[in-house]
Amino acid sequence: MSKFYETHFSRSLDSPLLCGCFPIKPIVLAAQLLMTIFFIHDLVGTASSADTVSIMGKVFMIIFLVSSFVAFLADYEVLMRLHHLVSCVVALIHIAWFFMELFSFIKKVASETPINSSDVKVLLVPIGYSFVFVLYIWMCQQLIMVLGRKYILPLFKI
C-alpha cells in the first residue's frame, strides 16, 4: 500500500546554506513565524476599532501564513510555489512604495527645501523593506529549487 499521507519530514530540515554557513530553511520558517505573530498581534490590537474588511484581510493573511509555514516545514511544493508567488506580489508593492518615496525625495531636493534626517529615514525604510523582501524571495526560491532535486533517485544503467 502506498504511503500517500506520509510527509518528507525526516529530510525536511535539510536546506541550502546562506553565505555558506546559515541554513536557509530555519531562517524562512522563523520569518514566517514572526510575521504570523505580528499579524495576530495586529489583529488583536485593532479588532475593536477596525472595519470588517480589514479584519477579514488579516484573518486570511494569518491563515495563509500558517499554511505556508506548514508547507515549508513539510515540503509541500504547490503551497511553497503559491507562497513564493504571493511574496513576489507583496515585494512589488514595497518596491513601488520605495520609488514613490524616492520621487518625493527628489522633488523635495529639486525644490531646494531643507532636508533633515527624518526625510532620509523615510527614504531608507522602504529600501530596507525591499532588500529584506528580495532576500526572502530568493531564499524561498532556493528552497523550491532544492525540493525539485531532493527526492529524485539516480538512474542506474544495467
Q: pLDDT tens for residues 37-84?
A: 888 888 887 767 767 777 788 888 888 888 888 888 888 888 888 888
Element (H, E) at 5: none
Contact criterion met (CB below 8 Å) for 109 and 148: no
Packing angle, helices 117-150 and 77-110, rounded to 10: 160
Is the pTM for the entire model greater than 0.75? no
Q: Would you kindly state where each structural domain of the chain is located, as residue ranges?
A: 22-150
**Looking at per-residue confidence, does 152 or 76 come out higher?**
76
Q: Is the dihedral of CA 129, 134, 137, 138 positive or negative?
A: negative
Nearest Cα residue to 143 out of 94, 70, 73, 92:
73
Rounded average pLDDT over 121-144: 82
Q: How far is CA 1 from CA 7, 35, 76, in A?
A: 15, 39, 21
CA distance 67 to 148: 20
Residue 13 has pLDDT above 70, yes or no: no
Residues 6+ apart with CB under 8 A from 14: 25, 150
29 pLDDT tier (thresholds 50, 70, 90): confident
